[in-house]
Amino acid sequence: MFFVEVILPLSLAKTFTYRVTEAEFHFVKNGMRVVVPFGKSKMYTALIIDKHQNEPTLYEAKEIDQILDEKPIVTQFQITHWQWIASYYMCAIGDVYRGAMPSALLLESETIISQKQSVTIEEAELTDDEFLVYQALQHQSSLRIQDIIAILNKKNVFPVIQKLINKQVLVLHEEVQELYKPKLVRYVRLHSKYDLNSGLGDLLESLKSATKQREIVLAYFQLSAKDKQPISVKQLVETANSSSAILKALIEKQIFEDYFIQEDRVNFIGNPQENTLELSVAQQEAFHQIQTSFTTQEVCLLHGLTSSGKTEIYIKLIEEQLASGKQVLYLLPEIALTTQLVGRLRTYFGDKVGVYHSKYSTNERVELWKQVLEQSPKAQIVIGARSALFLPFSNLSLIVVDEEHEQTFKQVDPAPRYHARDAAIVLANYHKAKVLLGSATPSIESYFNAQSNKYGLVEITERYGNVQLPEIELVDLKDSYFRKKMTGHFSTTLIEAITAALSLGEQVILFQNRRGYSPIIECLTCGNVPQCQQCDVSLTYHQHKNQLRCHYCGYAMAKPTQCHSCSSIDLATKGFGTEQIEQELQAIFPDAKTGRMDQDTTRGKFGFEKIIDSFKNQEIQILVGTQMLAKGLDFNNVSLVGIMNADTMLYHPDFRAFERSFQMMTQVAGRAGRSEKQGKVVIQTYNPEQNTIQQVTRNDYVGMYKEQLYDRQIYKYPPYFRIIRLTLKHRDFDKVKEGSMWLYQVMSQNLTMPVLGPEEPPISRIRNEYIRTILIKIPQTVPIGSTKKTIQKMLMSFEAVPQYRSIKVAVNVDYY
Ligand code: ADP
Ligand code: ZN
Ligand code: ZN
């Protein structure tokens, strides 16, 4: 008898054994997908990770239903890496598999399918089965796998669906609709009836009396002689020093024709610039130090000021790898950053850059997956957010983790709750690849690892072009309110600085950390604040839609006209978010063009790009935003950054609050003055003397590091202790309270290390589920593997208690 061992895309820790025929056994390889029945009537796409002849003893192996692949689509490197993630982060291998694969490669019986809009289908090219599915979708907008099984009257429908997805006929239903189309740029070319190499004499002759038009044509020849890049309308009109009306006349005469290209695709067309990048002396030195460090160490931390030109150093390092045909992975904390970076990298590497992140459709992700698998030159460099770590690399030589301190590298929910930086280091190890971590404000952990020689350390202490760091001015809010030097939330100092910047045609960024400081509605008579019915939080006021909304579960209601508690109509808004800041701003600077960047204005695939584009193009003068602004965006005309209130970040109940505040303030401040002129930063705070704020002002990273390190040792936190956080959830308040107490007691009796809790978190109910947390602190000196085994055992005995079985427990290793 012949068997395969498979992973199912379910939260199951075990692998499962299925039967195959002898012929199938010889055909299949690890890393191929098979469709298997599971449970009563469900079908799943499973992954083969082993083949053998050992019959399972506990159950009777079912037969597989279908083999989906002709060759492996998952590499052995990936399987090993996924097993490491499951074991280190204490989750099911099925969770990792499900999280790693683009959903189009993971059809299951629940999947809903619909027809792709706005594509023309060549009906003749469909097989009979494919046509039947296609036809059914002309009558109803979506189908379940079950429906398709009925329509085709057979069980094995996954291959048909997969083919239809590949042929762009079908899409999975969950795909987000694209709301914003990427910006199209208008280009011109000579009408197809002309040929650049002949007959131009005639053309110019015919324009002899139309001098202005002739000038445009001449400018066009000039530009196209220089390089083969497409010529935009704007560029042509500017070069000819002409007007678009004259160009329009030429288009009407059919001498030129215009066409559009999506802005982010432009670099695909031309050749990448002959490498014009010259490193400065400081960059050159850092570059060599990194290379030297790589001869003895696997990981190097590049600690360089904001705007010191770290990206250019990454580019040089990548360039070295390309010649050898190896693959490079470039991880970013935030997909919002990809457009800017992809643009920068494509200038050097042309079409060798692939992009991978969750806002891409599953078809786009499948395409990149295949390119990486085939080691296609089109995906030799992959830029992506943390999930790019799961791609089928077979030949990695370098992983860059940019802004390595960012907490978005840690996945919170659902499992696997992995840290992409740490998982990248493990992945690199399998490939014998090097890892470069980069940041202006490294995480305490990474800097500690560098200090203790676990990582190499390279520092750049000057900005590129010797631009000065911005001058930082602190405004004492207590004093300003007392002296009535405030207009709304704006101090006179900040208003004057904005006025000065605007008068010079410079741009301004205002930073408002919205978390924990959202606008709410309060009754002035009884003090009632409307709460979410399902979560333990106040509803947030959104003026734009005149709604109250819950940021945790999405619940929304119209803004009440009277208090639900005492019926008073005296309601007032309290607290301030980005929206209110923007509104006050418009009142103070009625002529300035303002924009806002936060979770509400950046929905949709191109939400970020839209705002970043308009700020870059200077259609927006003052940009108000949340933490998204802190992440490595490069704007050259920003001379002023205002931090509306530094205190909200500082006093978060979290052991990383000071570290994060330092990072956030230093990073937003770093957006100011990136070209010749020194920039300015105004920080408004009630505590100008507070240590972290002082450290930001002095750009004293090491001071911050030492102070925090000292605290971490005393209070038993990373890097001295590893933190595992258990989160228990249930709709029954008493049950979760008792259950968490039970688990806490068992844990503290069986572990010889600090166990804290069970704690009621600041937000102790979300979507009607009550929450308790338990924190386990494992000293670095204790082997983590055996501790995890003990924890796992206790979790199993917890599950075995009948009344606690329904409590959900989430394990977060290296809680961030
Ligand atoms: P960082 O990532 O360290 O904050 P960047 O890589 O964004 O810094 O560089 C800051 C600015 O300086 C960017 O506008 C970049 O284009 C420019 N720059 C950096 N190095 C060079 C170089 N060697 N040649 C030309 N421009 C550079
Ligand atoms: Zn809610
Ligand atoms: Zn009231």
pLDDT at 388: 95
Residue 735 has pLDDT above 60, yes or no: yes
With a 6 Å cutoff on the Cβ, whether 667 touches ligand 1 is no
Q: 372-386, 520-534, 720-734 — which is least confidently predicted?
A: 520-534
pLDDT in tens, 131-167: 888 888 887 777 877 788 888 887 778 888 888 888 8
Using 50, 70 and 90 to split pLDDT, how confident is the model at 800?
A: very high
With a 6 Å cutoff on the Cβ, whether 671 touches ligand 1 is no
Q: Which residue among 312, 439, 461, 631 is best mutated to probe the pocket of ligand 1, counting the most ligand atoms within 8 A of its Cβ?
A: 312
Residue 507 has pLDDT above 70, yes or no: yes
The answer as to whether 185 is a domain residue is: no
Phi-psi region of 554 (alpha: psi -120 to 50; beta: other; left: phi over 0): left
With a 6 Å cutoff on the Cβ, whether 310 touches ligand 1 is yes
pLDDT at 268: 43
Q: Which atom of ligand 1 is nearest to the CA of 304?
A: 3
Q: Which residue among 301, 464, 466 is best mutated to probe the pocket of ligand 1, counting the most ligand atoms within 8 A of its Cβ?
A: 464
pLDDT in tens, 68-84: 888 999 999 999 999 99
Query: Are the CB atoms for 30 and 83 separated by under 8 Å?
Result: no
Q: Which atom of ligand 1 is nearest to the CA of 670?
A: 4
pLDDT > 70: what percent of the chain?
91
pLDDT at 199: 60
Per the structure, the complete domain to which residue 795 belongs is given by 721-813
Residue 217 has pLDDT above 90, yes or no: no
Q: Which residue among 634, 663, 668, 671 is best mutated to probe the pocket of ligand 1, counting the most ligand atoms within 8 A of its Cβ?
A: 634
Q: Helices 93-100 and 76-88: crossing angle, nearest 10°? A: 130
Q: Across residues 175-193, what is the average pLDDT?
A: 59
The first and second tokens of residue 38, run together, are 């599971």
With a 6 Å cutoff on the Cβ, whether 279 touches ligand 1 is yes
pLDDT at 756: 93
361 and 393 housed in the same domain: yes
Average per-residue pLDDT for the chain: 87
Distance CA 461, CA 472 (A): 18
Q: Across residues 393-412, what is the average pLDDT?
A: 95
How many helices and strands, by DSSP H and E, does the chain display? 27, 36
pLDDT in tens, 633-656: 778 889 999 999 888 778 777 889
Please indicate if the annotation marks 300 as binding a ligand: no
- Cα(539) to ligand 2 centroid in Å equals 8
Helix (H) or strand (E) holding 755: strand 755-759
Smallest-distance ligand from the CA of 525: 3
pLDDT at 339: 75
445 and 313 housed in the same domain: yes
476 and 589 housed in the same domain: yes
Please tell me which residue, 342 or 445, carries the higher pLDDT value. 445
Q: Which of 56-60, 283-287, 405-409 has the highest mean pLDDT?
A: 283-287
Q: Across residues 789-795, what is the average pLDDT?
A: 95
Q: Across residues 657-683, what is the average pLDDT?
A: 88
Using 50, 70 and 90 to split pLDDT, how confident is the model at 244?
A: confident
Q: 367-371, 589-593, 640-644 — which is least confidently predicted?
A: 367-371
Residue 182 has pLDDT above 60, yes or no: no
| Longest pairwise C-alpha distance within the chain | 97
The answer as to whether 275 is a domain residue is: no
pLDDT in tens, 687-700: 999 999 999 999 99
291 and 423 housed in the same domain: yes
pLDDT at 331: 96
Helix (H) or strand (E) holding 322: helix 310-323
Q: Which atom of ligand 1 is nearest to the CA of 308?
A: 3
The first and second tokens of residue 24, run together, are 């199938």
CB-CB neighbours of 508 under 10 Å = 29
3-state class (DSSP) for residue 65: coil
Distance CA 700, CA 695 (A): 5
* Pairing of β 170-172 and β 142-144: unpaired
430 and 506 housed in the same domain: no
Residue 790 has pLDDT above 90, yes or no: yes
Q: Which atom of ligand 1 is nearest to the CA of 636?
A: 14
The answer as to whether 381 is a domain residue is: yes
Q: What is the DSSP letter of 528?
A: -
With a 6 Å cutoff on the Cβ, whether 280 touches ligand 1 is yes
What's the pTM?
0.81
| Peptide bond connecting 414 to the previous residue in cis, omega within 30 degrees of 0 | yes
> What end-to-end distance do the CA atoms of the chain give, in Å?
48
Q: Which residue among 311, 317, 402, 437 is best mutated to probe the pocket of ligand 1, counting the most ligand atoms within 8 A of its Cβ?
A: 311
Residue 558 has pLDDT above 80, yes or no: yes
- Residue nearest (by alpha carbon) to ligand 1 atom 10: 307
3-state class (DSSP) for residue 328: strand
The answer as to whether 751 is a domain residue is: yes
339 and 441 housed in the same domain: yes
The answer as to whether 11 is a domain residue is: yes
364 and 486 housed in the same domain: no
- Residue nearest (by alpha carbon) to ligand 1 atom 17: 309
pLDDT in tens, 292-328: 999 999 999 999 998 899 999 999 999 999 888 899 9
Q: Which of 33-47, 244-258, 474-488 has the highest mean pLDDT?
A: 474-488
- Residue nearest (by alpha carbon) to ligand 1 atom 9: 309
Residue 521 has pLDDT above 50, yes or no: yes
- Cα(527) to ligand 3 centroid in Å equals 6
* Side-chain half-sphere exposure of 15, counting CA atoms within 13 A: 19
492 and 556 housed in the same domain: no
pLDDT at 110: 64
Q: Across residues 377-390, what is the average pLDDT?
A: 93
Distance CA 708, CA 702 (A): 10
Residue 231 has pLDDT above 90, yes or no: no
- Residue nearest (by alpha carbon) to ligand 1 atom 20: 309
Angle CA(21)–CA(98)–CA(7) in degrees, nearest 5?
Answer: 30
With a 6 Å cutoff on the Cβ, whether 283 touches ligand 1 is yes
Domain termination residue (choose one: 146, 176, 206): 176
Domain termination residue (choose one: 105, 129, 148): 105
Indicate which CATH number applies to the domain containing 98.
3.40.1440.60
395 and 508 housed in the same domain: no
Residue 606 has pLDDT above 50, yes or no: yes
Using 50, 70 and 90 to split pLDDT, how confident is the model at 627?
A: confident
pLDDT at 234: 85
- Residue nearest (by alpha carbon) to ligand 1 atom 22: 279
pLDDT at 176: 34
With a 6 Å cutoff on the Cβ, whether 637 touches ligand 1 is no
Smallest-distance ligand from the CA of 469: 1
**Can you say how many angstroms the Cα of residue 316 is from the centroid of all Cα atoms in its chain?**
24
Residue 632 has pLDDT above 70, yes or no: no
481 and 614 housed in the same domain: yes
Residue 179 has pLDDT above 60, yes or no: no
The first and second tokens of residue 710, run together, are 């000292």
Q: Across residues 781-789, what is the average pLDDT?
A: 92
Please indicate if the annotation marks 91 as binding a ligand: no
CA-based radius of gyration for the chain: 30
Q: Which of 131, 137, 132, 101 is nearest to 117 (CA)?
A: 137
The answer as to whether 222 is a domain residue is: yes
| Peptide bond connecting 758 to the previous residue in cis, omega within 30 degrees of 0 | yes
617 and 673 housed in the same domain: yes
- Cα(525) to ligand 2 centroid in Å equals 25
Domain termination residue (choose one: 710, 745, 770): 710
Smallest-distance ligand from the CA of 524: 3
With a 6 Å cutoff on the Cβ, whether 421 touches ligand 1 is no
- Residue nearest (by alpha carbon) to ligand 1 atom 15: 309
Distance CA 454, CA 762 (A): 36
With a 6 Å cutoff on the Cβ, whether 673 touches ligand 1 is no
Considering its fold, how many domains does the chain have in total?
Answer: 7
Q: Which residue among 307, 437, 666 is best mutated to probe the pocket of ligand 1, counting the most ligand atoms within 8 A of its Cβ?
A: 307
CA dihedral 404, 407, 413, 419 (to 10 degrees): 30
pLDDT at 284: 96
Q: Across residues 103-126, what is the average pLDDT?
A: 75
- Cα(768) to ligand 2 centroid in Å equals 8
Q: Across residues 788-813, what is the average pLDDT?
A: 95
The answer as to whether 635 is a domain residue is: yes
pLDDT at 54: 95
Please tell me which residue, 667 or 651, carries the higher pLDDT value. 667
With a 6 Å cutoff on the Cβ, whether 307 touches ligand 1 is yes
684 and 601 housed in the same domain: yes
- What Cα–Cα distance (Å) separates residue 798 from each residue in 301, 547, 794, 801, 805? 41, 42, 6, 5, 7
pLDDT at 178: 33
Using 50, 70 and 90 to split pLDDT, how confident is the model at 600?
A: low
Indicate which CATH number applies to the domain containing 368.
3.40.50.300
Q: Which atom of ligand 1 is nearest to the CA of 402?
A: 2
pLDDT in tens, 761-780: 878 888 889 999 999 999 99
Residue 41 has pLDDT above 80, yes or no: no
Please tell me which residue, 125 or 292, carries the higher pLDDT value. 292
